[in-house]
Structure 1
Amino acid sequence: MRDSNLPEPELLKTVLQPLLEDFQYWFARSRQLLEKEQLSFMSDQEQSDLLLRVKQAQDKVNTAKMLFAATDGQVGIEMETLMPWHKLVTECWQVAMRLRQDREV
């Protein structure tokens, strides 16, 4: 929901900037897990594919964040761009939860 008291660039900074930082954080964490752990519930190929998708998403998020900063928050990001990142973060969370569950058993 839009706060009509905020000018559009300020709204973008308030919403988009923290969202991009969250994506950076979760992709970095996921990358570290996928690079350091051998996940028994995933094949090597599945783990490698997920790691590749995380690396690609990291590159895209970093580029978006640089463009956002270079334009002083004047540029937004289409939902069609954000949704795959969100889905990938959710997939990574599921992998991390499964790893935690396996370790508890």
Structure 2
Amino acid sequence: MRDSNLPEPELLKTVLQPLLEDFQYWFARSRSFLETEELSFMSQHEQSDLLTQVKKAQEEVNTAKMLFTATGGQVGIDMATLMPWHQLVTKCWNVAMRFRSQQNSWQHKDDI
């Protein structure tokens, strides 16, 4: 999978930089969503807990990106760090899909 023509720092910049930007984007969207929407299928405590997890992950990603930038792309990130972020993004996507599905079903009921 590794392009042997790319030096290690360039490979990190090619793969890790866009990945960190994606995490920043999705956590920002998730945070905004959780701060503005009332989710009838989650308790307030569950929603607040998920929001807290997103805020913590945002801080971690921002720190990782700052270190990555400060070192000129010389620092990688362990998979043990990335996997919880990926799992949290997936969890947020699932919550958003359930919310949209619920919104759509309510709209269809209104149309009848």
Structure 1 vs Structure 2: percent identity of aligned residues?
77
1:104, 1:51 → 2: CA distance?
24
1:41, 1:12 → 2: CA distance?
40
TM-score (norm 2): 0.93
2:102, 2:32 → 1: CA distance?
18
> Aligned residue for 2:108?
none
What secondary structure sits across from 1:39 in the alignment? coil
Q: What CA deviation, in whole Å up to 9, does each residue of 1:19-45 have, x standing for no partner?
A: 000000000000000000010010000
| Residue identity opposite 1:70 in structure 2 | A
> Aligned residue for 1:25?
25
| Residue identity opposite 2:5 in structure 1 | N
Q: Which runs of 5+ in 1 are unaligned?
A: none
Q: Which runs of 5+ in 2 are unaligned?
A: 106-112
1:82, 1:57 → 2: CA distance?
10
> Aligned residue for 1:56?
56
Deviation at 1:81, TM superposition (A): 0.3
1:1-105 equivalence runs, <5 A = 1-105=1-105
Q: What CA deviation, in whole Å up to 9, does each residue of 1:13-67 have, x standing for no partner?
A: 0000000000000000000000000100100000000000000000000000000
| Residue identity opposite 1:90 in structure 2 | T
What secondary structure sits across from 1:42 in the alignment? coil
Aligned pair count? 105
Root-mean-square deviation (CA, aligned residues, Å) is 0.3
| Residue identity opposite 1:102 in structure 2 | Q
Computing the radius of gyration from Cα coordinates, the structure with the larger value is 2
